[in-house]
A and B are shown apart, each in its own frame.
Chain A
């Protein structure tokens, strides 16, 4: 299984330089005027970033307020007895709540937990697995849909949150199974 690990590491390191060089090289080979075409495409970058701004402001300021209000502590207390029934440790509840909301916030929680429990603790392994195996759902929604001005998101949010909830539970049980 270690071979797989090494293979993925190699691919991860090499794919970016290969694409960066490969695209223009193949273009030159096909007699595309690579510089002119590149610049034409790159022009769009600025407009897309600017289009995203209102969506990102809307999402992030609401999340920032929610975090600052202390609602997280309340939610943790509320969920604690429910999740205790399914052996979900109370210490990782804040991580499970924050992960879909903010990336920097959940990184801070992992750091805090390392300070409190140490890198080796199973709780930190759970939190880190949660961090590594999911994305900041609301940020992704704001950026991807913002870039094309999609305001009616239909089932994107519920689908994302269902997957997140499942990932949080899975992280706990997979870590318990592998390290418990």
Chain B
């Protein structure tokens, strides 16, 4: 299943990127090579011999709309610098200010923090009606998916390495809990309930204790503790696994319960985003999470009986 979803994500992102780029190409969305009419005024008067001069660039709404075939109701104005070399004149302006689309994409695609374009025509003393030609923009989405793939691969490593501290801490503590017998006291207390969900785990097995701790941490919104505890539970379940690389029913059950997330306390990130409004959402989150937990348990149990998901296959 994961093979198909994974392959599907990759192939479909290529397909969507291709369709989108060909669409841009056929509609000439970025008007590659054709000059956009602007008016350039020199802050300190035009000096033909200066290499760098400060300028103000104005784009009339009408000219912008006609050029890019979009609706742009307001004129836009930026300050920038004009660079004069033997090769020609280049305009550079920072585009932190809201630049209307598709100009924003063009700037993001062609510059490094600033927007660069060649200038047509001969400068005049007062306001110079020039044409700017941006560097051609092609294959926007194709480039985007390639750089996203690299970015996310790096993110994956950062995320995984970020787990080391929490993992070490909890694995150390759990080792103590195991050696001292505390874990087994917890197991004796909770196993009548928890073994209903994990019937294939033998009585008094350490996995039961880890599962209880994982679910408790989840419930209390302690994400940083829940992940190491869940991993430890998985490791204990793996000791009961007759195969090396195939998930058992108990593993799928634990995973389904974790993805449904039994949260009574909203995650920290959501609290940070929502502020005081989060208090109103307490009940809607608890009701939704409880319902989805029931569905997750039922799905894990029932799908496990299907022929195509049988362990032997």
Write the residues of chain A forming the contact surface with B, with a CB cutoff of 8 angstroms: 1, 5, 8-9, 11-12, 15-16, 19-20, 22-24, 26-27, 29-30, 32, 34, 37-46, 48-50, 52-53, 56-71, 74, 100, 103, 107, 110-111, 114, 119-120, 124-125, 128-135, 137, 140-141, 143-145, 147-160, 162-164, 166-167, 170-171, 174-175, 178-179
Q: How far is the CA of A66 from the CA of B17 in the complex (A)?
A: 9
* Contact status B255-A40, CB under 8 Å: no
B60 at the interface (CB under 8 A from A): no
Beta-carbon contacts under 8 Å, B231-277 to A: 231, 234-235, 237-238, 244-247, 251-252, 254-256, 258-261, 263-267, 269-270, 273-275, 277
Q: Which chain B residues border A46 with CB–CB below 8 Å?
A: 164, 167-168
Residues of A within 8 A of B2 (CB): 141, 153, 156-157
- A119 adjacent to B277 (CB under 8 Å): yes
Contact of B148 among A64, A100, A147 (CB under 8 A): A64
Complex CA gap A108/B234 in Å reads 31
> A38-B173, A143-B231 in contact; A160/B255 too (CB < 8 A)?
yes
Known: A15-B222, A141-B2, A167-B291. A60 touches B216 (CB 8 A): no
Residues of A within 8 A of B277 (CB): 119-120, 124-125, 128
Specify the main secondary structure of chain B where it touches its partner.
Answer: helix
Query: Could you write out 17 A-B pairs with CB less than 8 Å apart?
Result: A8-B265, A9-B265, A11-B220, A12-B221, A44-B171, A52-B163, A64-B152, A107-B270, A119-B277, A148-B231, A153-B247, A155-B309, A156-B252, A162-B295, A163-B295, A175-B284, A178-B283
* Chain A residue with the shortest CB-CB distance to B243: A152
Q: How far is the CB of B188 from chain A (nearest CB, A)?
A: 15
Q: How far is the CA of A75 from the CA of B255 in the complex (A)?
A: 27
One digit per residue, 1 when the CB lies within 8 angstroms of any chain A CB and 0 when it does not, for chain B 129-158 equals: 000000000000100110111111101110
CA A41 to CA B216, docked complex, whole Å = 21
Residue pair A65, B148 in contact (C-beta under 8 Å):
yes
Collect the chain B residues with CB atoms within 8 Å of residue A68's CB. 13, 17, 141, 144-145, 147-148
Q: How far is the CA of A127 from the CA of B264 in the complex (A)?
A: 17
Cβ contacts B273-304/A at 8 Å (1 or 0 each)? 11101101111111111011101100110011
Which of B35-43, B111-119, B178-186 lies at the binding interface? B178-186
What string of 1s and 0s marks CB contacts (under 8 Å) between B51-90 and chain A? 0000000000000000000000000000000000000000
**A9 to B235, alpha carbons, bound, how many Å?**
30
Inter-chain contact B180/A32, CB cutoff 8 Å:
yes
Q: Give Cα distance in the complex from A150 to B266, angstroms.
A: 30
Q: How far is the CA of A153 from the CA of B256 in the complex (A)?
A: 11
- What is B's interface to A at a CB cutoff of 8 Å? 1-2, 5-6, 9-10, 12-17, 20, 141, 144-145, 147-153, 155-157, 159-161, 163-169, 171-177, 179-182, 216-217, 220-222, 225, 227-228, 230-231, 234-235, 237-238, 244-247, 251-252, 254-256, 258-261, 263-267, 269-270, 273-275, 277-278, 280-289, 291-293, 295-296, 299-300, 303-304, 306, 309, 311
How far is it, in angstroms, between the C-alpha of A116 and the C-alpha of B313 when the chains are bound? 50
Q: Please, how many angstroms separate the alpha-carbon atoms of A67 and B16 in the complex?
A: 10
Distance, CA A42 to CA B175, complexed state (A): 8
Which of B260, B293, B295, B303 has its CB near the most chain A CB atoms (within 10 A)?
A: B260
- A5-B282, A42-B168, A69-B13 known; A63 and B163 CB under 8 Å? no
Q: Is the CB of A52 within 8 A of B160?
A: yes
Residues in chain B near residue A125, CB distance under 8 A: 277, 280-281, 284
Query: Contact at B292–A166, with CB atoms within 8 Å?
Result: yes
Contact B273 A38 (CB under 8 A): no
| Choice from B156, B280, B285 contacting A53 with Cβ under 8 Å | B156
Return chain B residues, CB-CB under 8 Å to A164.
259-260, 292
CB <8 Å contact, B285 and A57: no
The answer on a CB contact under 8 Å between A158 and B1 is yes
A163 near B284 (CB under 8 angstroms)? no
Among A42, A64, A70, A143, which residue has its beta carbon within 8 angstroms of that of B169? A42
Contacts of B267 in A (CB 8 A): 131-132
- Of all chain A residues, the one with the shortest Cβ separation from B277 is A119
Question: Which residue of chain B has its CB nearest to the CB of A103?
Answer: B269
B255→A156 contact, CB < 8 A: yes
CA A130 to CA B156, docked complex, whole Å: 24
Q: Which residue of B lies closest to A15 (CB)?
A: B220
Tell me whether B157 and A53 are in contact (CB under 8 A).
Answer: yes
